[in-house]
Amino acid sequence: MNAKGSNRIKFYILNGFIAFLFLLPFVWIVSTSLKKPGEIAKYPPKWLPANVTLDNYRTIFTFQEGIFSTYFTNSGLLTISTVFFVIIVSSLAGYGFSKLDIPFKNGVLMLILAAMMIPFHGLLIPLFSIIKSLNLLNTHIALIIIYVTFQLPFTIYMMKNSFDSVPTSIRESALIDGASELRTFVRVFLPLVWPGLATVAIFSAYTTWNDFIIALIFANSNDLKTLNVGLTNLAVGEYGTNWGLLSSGSIISFIPIIILFAFLQRYFISGLTSGSVK
């Protein structure tokens, strides 16, 4: 075997081992969700359930009058709304910063990027005061505004890079042919930056779906809680944690993001690297 083949084998072995370590927690959660309560608490613990059961999955949809479905729906609506607004604003802003002659656009872009350096937790108290003064506490509108606002700096920068990878001459040709700026943006440029849009959608959906701290602080009414906050309240009680309920709920919460990434993964890397090569 030559040196190149040996190095390739070592590469696969190393990455396989790393992947195995990363998958262990997921395997444990799946195993726990398929165990009965007595087996979950058994010591020493066993990786595989002795008797596979789906009781935890059935229970979570009937527990407390099926409130888990409400939490799931809340997270779904918030995620879809946030992704929609993030894609619209970031694509328009990215196109403007990349192709339009805007006064002081480099300075404005630097200010937007500087917003990424401010720790979110340092803004919680003033942000809470602002939302409260606007009478938006315990509303999904407040959550959408916060999600969109704090995701935009990164997504605008990503979309600018995507538009930078498209030659400016295409825009000039479209304008010469009589197309308006909006038509050029929608009909010409958006189809060319689809990988960037897909990457922004994955980032926004993942960030919104997995949020905990924002939903916990700004929407604590039971019928407005998101999946992560609601699942924690269902499974973690004063007298202990229902690990079967928590595990089955966690597995269910993985499914939408896994499906989204499965459909858009081929665009993800190209979207991240768009604009890196001129």
What pLDDT shows up at residue 2? 61
Question: For residue 58, is it within any domain?
Answer: no
Integer Cα distance of 105 and 112 in angstroms: 10
What pLDDT shows up at residue 215? 93
What pLDDT shows up at residue 165? 86
Q: Which domain holds residue 2?
A: 1-53
What pLDDT shows up at residue 273? 53
Beta bridge partners of 241: 236
Same domain, 75 and 137: yes
Same domain, 135 and 253: yes
Query: Which structure tokens are listed for 187?
Result: 């009909």
Same domain, 34 and 87: no
Same domain, 96 and 33: no
Same domain, 22 and 48: yes
What pLDDT shows up at residue 276? 47
The whole-angstrom distance between residue 3's C-alpha and the CA centroid of its chain comes to 41
Same domain, 11 and 83: no
pLDDT in tens, the chain (278 residues): 566 667 788 888 888 899 888 888 888 898 988 888 888 878 787 888 888 888 889 888 888 888 999 999 999 999 999 999 999 999 999 999 988 888 888 888 888 888 888 888 888 899 999 999 999 999 999 999 999 999 999 999 999 988 988 888 888 888 888 888 888 898 888 888 888 898 899 999 999 999 999 999 998 888 899 999 999 888 877 667 888 888 999 999 989 988 888 877 766 555 455 544 44
Asked if 159 and 229 count as a contact pair (C-beta separation under 8 A), the reply is no
Sequence-distant (≥ 6) Cβ neighbours of residue 37 within 8 angstroms: 242, 244
Same domain, 8 and 109: no
**For the chain, how far is it from start to end, CA to CA, in angstroms?**
40
Question: For residue 239, is it within any domain?
Answer: yes
What residue type is 162 in one-letter code?
S
